Chain A
Amino acid sequence: MGAQIRVYRQKIASTSSMKKIFKAMEMIATSRINKARQSADAASPYAAALTKAVTAIAAQGSIKHPLISDKNAQHRRSAVLVLTSDRGLAGSYSSSVLKKTEGLIEKLRSEGREVQLFLVGRKAKSYFEFRERDYERSWEGNTDSPNVEMAVEMREALLDAFARPYEEGGVDDLHIVYTEFISMVTQETKILRMLPLAVADTKRIGDEIVPGEEIEDALVDQNAAFNFEPSPQEVLDELLPRYIASRLYACLLEAAASELASRQRAMKSAGDNADELVKKYTRLMNNARQAEITNEISEIVGGADALAAS
Chain B
Amino acid sequence: MALNVEVVSREKKVWTGEAKYVRARTLDGDIGIMPGHIPTMALLAEDGELIIEPVSGEKIVTRLHEGFLTVSNNKVIIAAKHANI
Contacts and interface: CB of A to CB of B under 8 A. Distances in A.
A binds B: yes
B43 interface: yes
B4 interface: no
A221 B6 contact: no
A305 to B, nearest CB: 84
Nearest to B12: A42
Among B8, B26, B41, B43, max chain A CB count under 10 A is at B41
B10 interface: yes
B17 interface: no
A99 to B, nearest CB: 33
- Size category, B interface: 20 to 34
Among A49, A225, A249, max chain B CB count under 10 A is at A49
Contacts of B11: 39, 42-43, 46, 148
Interface residues of A, number: 26
A204 B43 CA distance: 32
Specify the main secondary structure of chain B where it touches its partner. Answer: strand
B10 A238 contact: no
A89 interface: no
Contact of A53 (B28, B38, B41): B41
A212 interface: no
A235 B39 contact: no
A45 B67 CA distance: 14
A230 interface: yes
Given A50-B79, A234-B43, A227 B10 contact: no
Nearest to B70: A53
A87 interface: no
A103 to B, nearest CB: 33
Closest 8 CB pairs of A and B: A229-B42, A42-B12, A224-B39, A49-B79, A45-B8, A227-B40, A45-B13, A46-B8
Interface of A: 39, 42-43, 45-46, 49-50, 52-53, 56-57, 148, 221, 224-230, 234-235, 238-239, 246, 249
